C-alpha cells in the first residue's frame, strides 16, 4: 500500500519529512542510513503530493523525472513546496502566538497581534489553502475540516478567541502534548463538557446584587468591589467542586482585598447578616470599617462530583479556609503554600513525613500589579518545585483589572502580560476575557485537570476591569478619564450573559426577577439585623498569663541519654567524614553528663519529636480538624 504523507506525517511533521527528502535529493549522504533507505524506495510516489514542482532552491525541480505528479485532495492543482511548508509553519505560529490576537480586553482594546499569524508572512493567499488537506495542520481540530483553510480557521477559533493559551515555552514535552490535546479537542468546554449557562447567570446575579446593594445602602464605604471581575466567584466554585470530585478535603484560598468580601459571602458562605453588621457600629449605630483582611474557616458539604453527580451522590466533607491577610497583597502567598503543605503531610508514624499532593489544594488570587511587582511572588514560585516545599501545584488567578491603584500597565511593569513572571518557572498560562463566563469556567476546569495530572502550578490571567476606583471613595476618572468613560458605558457580565440567554429563548423577564429576588433577600437581612449579635467570629480566649512557663516539658535524664546515643549511632557500613568524626566521642561524653554546647542542646531538643514513642501525632491542618459551619454552593455549571 503506498504511503500517504498527509496521514503518516500530519502537520509540521510532513514539512520536516519533505525538508529531509530535499536534503536527500541534493546529497544522499547528508541523511542517516535509515532515512536514505526509506527515501530510495519512496521518491514521492503515491504520497498525494507533487514533489516535482520547483521548491525555493530548485532542487526538487531537478528531479521532476523521478516523481509522479499528483493532484492535491479535492482535484485542485498540485501544491508547491513553499505553500505546504508555509501552512505548516502558520499552524505552529497560531499555536505559539495565537494569544496575541485573542480578544482578551472586555473594554474592547484591540489585541497587539503578531505578523507571524498573517498569511502574507509565508507568501500564502486564501485560495492556496482550499486545495490542501486538513491533515497538514494537524491536531484534533482537523477532524471536522474539509481542507487546510477550514482547519486553520478552527485553530484560530481556539487560540485567538476570548481565551489566549500561552504554554509554548513549557519545557516538558509530555505537558505540552497534554495541553495541546486538551485545548484543541475542547475537552473542558461544550459540547464535550457542557456548562449550565442559566445556573451561571444565577450565580453572577448573586455576585452583582451583593455589590450593588452595599453600594446603595452604604454609599462611599470601602469594600474593594469585585465588579468587573464578577466571574471570579463561579470560577472558584468550579475549582472547589472539582476538588470535591477528586476527594481533596482541604482548600486554602489566599487573596488580597479586591473582591474579598464577595468571595467570603458566596464561596465561604460567611453570613450576609454578619457582613452587613460589620458595616455598622453596633453601639452607636454608625458605619465602621469592615475588617475584610480577616479570614474565615469552615466546613463545606459538596455532593461528590459537584453537579455532575448530585443525584444520589453522597456528601463530601471539605474544609475551605481563607487565612487572614492584613498586608492586603502578596505576602499571603507563602503562608497559603505552607499551610497546604502541612495539611497534606502525615507525621503520625515512624519514618520520614509522608506527603500526599492530592490531600490539599492551595488557590492564590493575585493582583495584576502586585504579581510582577512584589518579590515575594517570585520567591514563592521558586520554592514550588523544590523537594520539601512543593504543595502539589498551586492554582493561581490574577484578578487583572488593568490598573495598579491608578497606574496603567505600561507604567507599572516591564512585561507584556501581568503573568509573564510565571513563564520563568514553566507555569502554563491561560489569559481569559472576564466578560465571557463560559470561557472562564472552561479555563478553570483545564487548570484543575492540569494540576491533578502533573501536580504543578497553573496560572489563569483573568482580564477584566474595575467598575469603581481603587476603593469606593476614589474618583478614578481623575487619573484614567478615557478608560472610565468606557467602563461607565459598559454593561456588566451579568447583563451580557442575560441578553445572550434571552436571545436563545430565556423569558425576557427572568433576569430582572433574579435581581429583584436578590435585592429583597439582602434587604430582609438588613431589616432584621441586630448588629450587636452578629459582629465577629467567635474568638478563642487567650491563655492565662504565664501558662507556657507552667507547662511541664522535662524528660527523664536516662531517656535523654538514650536519645543522645541513638543520634550518634551510625548505620552498618557507613564511614563518617574524618573531619567531624572526633565530635562523636566528645558529644557522647557530654550526653552522659548534664553539660553540652548549643549544638547538643538543639539535638536534645529535636530528638524527642523524632522518637516514635514521643512523636506528635497528626499535622496541624489535618483534614479531620473542623471549624465553623460554612457551606458554599456545590458546582452548578455541569
Query: 140, 161, 182 — which closes off a domain?
Result: 161
Please indicate, yes or no, whether residues 203 and 320 belong to a single structural domain of this protein.
Answer: yes
Across 44-48, 281-285, 398-402, 533-537, the highest mean pLDDT is recorded for: 398-402
Please indicate, yes or no, whether residues 56 and 10 belong to a single structural domain of this protein.
Answer: yes
Distance CA 204, CA 271 (A): 18
Lowest mean pLDDT among 261-275, 301-315, 345-359, 460-474: 301-315
Distance CA 295, CA 305 (A): 27
Query: 134, 161, 188 — which closes off a domain?
Result: 161
What pLDDT does residue 66 have?
36
- Whether residue 414 is contained in a domain is answered as yes
Give the SS3 label for residue 498. helix
Confidence of residue 21 (pLDDT cuts 50, 70, 90): confident
Q: Are the beta carbons of 284 and 216 closer than 8 angstroms?
A: no
Grid cell in block for residue 591: 550526653
Cβ neighbour number for residue 153 with a 10 Å cutoff: 13
Please indicate, yes or no, whether residues 136 and 217 belong to a single structural domain of this protein.
Answer: no
Distance CA 629, CA 625 (A): 13
Please indicate, yes or no, whether residues 320 and 201 belong to a single structural domain of this protein.
Answer: yes
Phi, psi of 2 (to 5 degrees): -65, 150
Distance CA 130, CA 124 (A): 11
The CATH code of the domain that includes 251 is 3.40.50.970
- What pLDDT digit, counting tens, does each position of 510-553 carry? 999 999 999 999 999 999 887 556 655 556 677 788 887 788 77
Select from 210, 266, 216 the least CA-distant residue to 518. Answer: 210
Confidence of residue 63 (pLDDT cuts 50, 70, 90): very low
Mean pLDDT of 255-263: 90
Lowest mean pLDDT among 26-40, 81-95, 284-298, 593-607: 284-298
Please indicate, yes or no, whether residues 138 and 91 belong to a single structural domain of this protein.
Answer: yes
Please indicate, yes or no, whether residues 373 and 271 belong to a single structural domain of this protein.
Answer: yes
Q: Are the beta carbons of 457 and 380 closer than 8 angstroms?
A: no
Residue whose C-alpha cell is 490539599:
360
Lowest mean pLDDT among 181-190, 295-304, 424-433: 295-304
Q: Is the pLDDT of residue 198 over 90?
A: yes
What pLDDT does residue 282 have?
44
- Whether residue 23 is contained in a domain is answered as yes
Q: How far is CA 194 from the centre of its chain?
A: 20
- What pLDDT digit, counting tens, does each position of 39-58 carry? 776 644 334 444 433 333 33
| Cα–Cα separations (whole angstroms), residue 331 to 31, 286, 325, 327, 380 | 56, 32, 8, 7, 9
Please indicate, yes or no, whether residues 203 and 143 belong to a single structural domain of this protein.
Answer: no
Query: 534, 550, 580 — which closes off a domain?
Result: 534
Q: Is the pLDDT of residue 8 over 90?
A: no
Mean pLDDT of 589-612: 63
What pLDDT does residue 340 have?
95
Residue whose C-alpha cell is 464605604:
221
Please indicate, yes or no, whether residues 237 and 148 belong to a single structural domain of this protein.
Answer: no
Mean pLDDT of 81-90: 89
Give the SS3 label for residue 500. helix
Share of the chain above pLDDT 70, in %: 74
Contacts of 233 (CB under 8 A, 6+ apart): 203, 204, 206, 207, 226, 259, 262, 263, 266, 267
What is the enclosing helix (H) or strand (E) of 95?
helix 81-97
- Whether residue 594 is contained in a domain is answered as no
Structural domain harbouring 123:
5-161
- Whether residue 171 is contained in a domain is answered as no
Q: Is the pLDDT of residue 156 over 90?
A: yes
Distance CA 453, CA 88 (A): 29
Please indicate, yes or no, whether residues 133 and 256 belong to a single structural domain of this protein.
Answer: no
- Whether residue 620 is contained in a domain is answered as no
Beta bridge partners of 537: none
Lowest mean pLDDT among 11-20, 401-410, 518-527: 11-20
- Whether residue 89 is contained in a domain is answered as yes
- What pLDDT digit, counting tens, does each position of 167-179 carry? 999 999 999 999 9
Beta bridge partners of 461: 398, 431
| Cα–Cα separations (whole angstroms), residue 130 to 54, 75, 184, 511 | 20, 11, 21, 44
Select from 445, 431, 436, 433 the least CA-distant residue to 500. Answer: 436
Q: Is the pLDDT of residue 417 over 60?
A: yes
Confidence of residue 281 (pLDDT cuts 50, 70, 90): low
Please indicate, yes or no, whether residues 395 and 523 belong to a single structural domain of this protein.
Answer: yes
Please indicate, yes or no, whether residues 154 and 204 belong to a single structural domain of this protein.
Answer: no
Instruction: Tell me the pLDDT of the chain averaged across its residues.
Output: 80
**Residue 161 DSSP symbol:** S
- What pLDDT digit, counting tens, does each position of 427-460 carry? 999 999 999 999 999 999 999 999 999 999 999 9
Give the SS3 label for residue 297. strand
Please indicate, yes or no, whether residues 247 and 157 belong to a single structural domain of this protein.
Answer: no
The number of folded domains in the chain is 2
- Whether residue 628 is contained in a domain is answered as no
- Whether residue 549 is contained in a domain is answered as no
Q: Is the pLDDT of residue 301 over 50?
A: no
Q: Is the pLDDT of residue 283 over 60?
A: no
Q: Are the beta carbons of 76 and 146 closer than 8 angstroms?
A: no
Alpha helices by DSSP H, listed for 131-223, are 148-159, 173-184, 197-217
Amino acid at each position: 500500500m503506498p504511503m500517504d504523507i498527509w496521514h503518516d506525517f500530519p502537520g509540521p511533521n510532513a514539512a520536516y519529512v519533505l525538508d529531509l527528502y530535499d536534503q536527500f535529493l541534493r546529497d544522499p549522504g547528508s541523511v542517516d542510513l535509515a532515512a536514505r533507505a526509506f527515501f530510495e524506495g519512496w521518491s514521492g510516489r503515491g504520497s498525494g503530493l507533487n514533489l516535482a514542482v520547483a521548491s525555493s532552491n530548485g532542487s526538487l525541480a531537478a528531479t521532476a523525472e523521478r516523481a509522479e505528479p499528483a493532484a492535491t485532495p479535492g482535484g485542485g492543482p498540485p501544491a508547491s513546496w513553499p505553500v505546504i511548508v508555509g501552512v505548516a509553519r502558520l499552524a505552529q505560529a497560531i499555536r505559539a502566538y495565537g494569544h496575541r490576537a485573542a480578544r482578551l480586553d472586555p473594554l474592547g482594546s484591540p489585541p497587539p497581534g503578531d505578523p507571524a499569524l498573517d498569511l502574507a508572512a509565508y507568501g500564502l493567499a486564501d485560495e492556496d489553502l482550499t486545495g490542501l488537506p486538513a491533515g497538514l495542520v494537524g491536531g484534533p481540530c482537523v477532524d471536522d475540516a474539509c481542507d487546510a483553510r477550514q482547519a486553520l480557521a478552527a485553530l484560530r477559533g481556539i487560540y485567538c478567541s476570548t481565551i489566549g493559551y500561552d504554554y509554548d515555552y513549557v519545557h516538558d514535552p509530555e505537558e505540552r502534548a497534554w495541553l495541546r490535546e486538551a485545548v484543541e479537542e475542547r475537552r473542558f468546554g461544550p459540547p464535550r463538557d457542557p456548562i449550565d449557562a442559566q445556573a451561571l447567570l444565577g450565580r453572577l446575579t448573586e455576585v452583582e446584587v451583593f455589590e450593588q446593594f452595599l453600594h446603595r445602602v452604604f454609599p462611599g464605604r470601602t469594600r474593594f468591589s469585585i465588579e468587573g471581575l464578577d466571574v471570579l466567584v463561579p470560577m472558584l466554585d468550579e475549582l472547589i467542586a472539582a476538588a470535591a470530585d477528586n476527594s481533596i478535603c482541604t482548600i486554602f484560598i489566599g487573596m488580597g482585598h479586591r473582591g474579598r468580601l464577595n468571595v467570603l459571602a458566596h464561596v465561604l458562605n460567611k453570613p450576609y447578616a454578619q457582613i452587613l453588621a460589620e458595616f455598622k457600629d453596633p453601639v452607636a449605630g454608625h458605619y465602621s470599617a469592615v475588617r475584610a483582611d480577616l479570614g474565615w474557616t469552615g466546613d463545606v458539604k459538596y455532593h461528590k462530583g459537584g453537579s455532575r453527580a448530585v443525584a444520589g451522590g453522597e456528601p463530601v466533607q471539605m474544609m475551605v479556609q481563607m487565612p487572614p491577610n492584613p498586608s492586603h497583597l502578596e505576602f499571603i502567598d507563602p503562608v497559603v503554600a505552607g499551610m497546604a503543605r502541612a495539611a497534606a503531610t502525615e507525621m503520625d508514624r515512624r519514618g520520614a513525613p509522608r506527603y500526599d499532593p492530592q490531600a490539599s489544594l492551595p488557590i492564590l488570587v493575585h493582583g495584576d500589579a502586585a504579581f510582577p511587582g512584589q518579590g515575594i511572588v517570585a520567591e514563592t514560585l521558586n520554592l514550588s518545585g523544590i523537594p520539601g516545599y512543593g504543595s502539589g501545584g498551586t492554582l493561581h488567578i490574577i484578578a487583572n483589572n488593568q490598573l495598579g491603584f491608578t497606574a496603567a500597565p505600561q507604567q507599572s511593569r516591564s512585561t507584556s502580560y501581568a503573568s509573564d513572571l510565571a513563564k520563568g518557572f514553566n507555569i502554563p498560562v491561560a489569559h481569559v476575557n472576564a466578560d465571557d463566563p463560559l470561557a472562564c469556567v472552561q479555563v478553570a476546569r483545564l487548570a484543575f485537570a492540569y494540576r491533578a495530572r502533573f501536580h504543578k502550578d497553573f496560572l489563569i490571567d483573568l482580564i477584566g476591569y474595575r467598575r469603581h476606583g481603587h476603593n469606593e471613595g476614589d474618583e478614578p476618572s481623575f487619573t484614567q478619564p478615557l478608560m472610565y468613560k468606557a467602563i461607565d458605558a459598559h454593561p456588566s457580565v451579568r447583563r451580557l450573559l442575560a441578553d445572550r440567554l434571552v436571545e436563545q429563548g430565556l423569558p425576557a423577564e427572568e433576569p430582572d426577577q433574579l435581581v429583584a429576588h436578590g435585592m429583597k433577600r439582602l434587604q430582609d437581612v438588613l431589616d432584621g439585623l441586630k448588629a450587636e449579635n452578629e459582629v465577629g467570629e467567635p474568638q478563642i480566649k487567650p491563655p492565662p498569663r504565664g501558662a507556657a512557663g507552667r507547662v511541664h516539658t522535662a524528660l527523664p535524664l536516662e531517656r535523654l541519654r538514650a536519645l543522645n546515643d541513638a543520634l550518634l549511632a551510625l548505620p552498618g557500613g557507613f564511614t563518617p567524614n574524618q573531619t567531624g568524626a572526633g565530635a562523636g566521642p566528645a558529644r557522647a561524653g557530654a550526653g552522659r553528663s548534664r553539660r553540652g554546647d548549643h549544638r547538643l542542646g538543639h539535638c536534645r531538643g529535636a530528638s524527642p519529636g523524632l522518637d516514635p514513642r514521643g512523636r506528635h501525632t497528626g499535622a496541624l491542618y489535618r483534614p479531620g480538624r473542623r471549624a465553623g459551619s460554612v457551606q458554599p454552593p456545590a458546582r452548578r455549571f455541569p
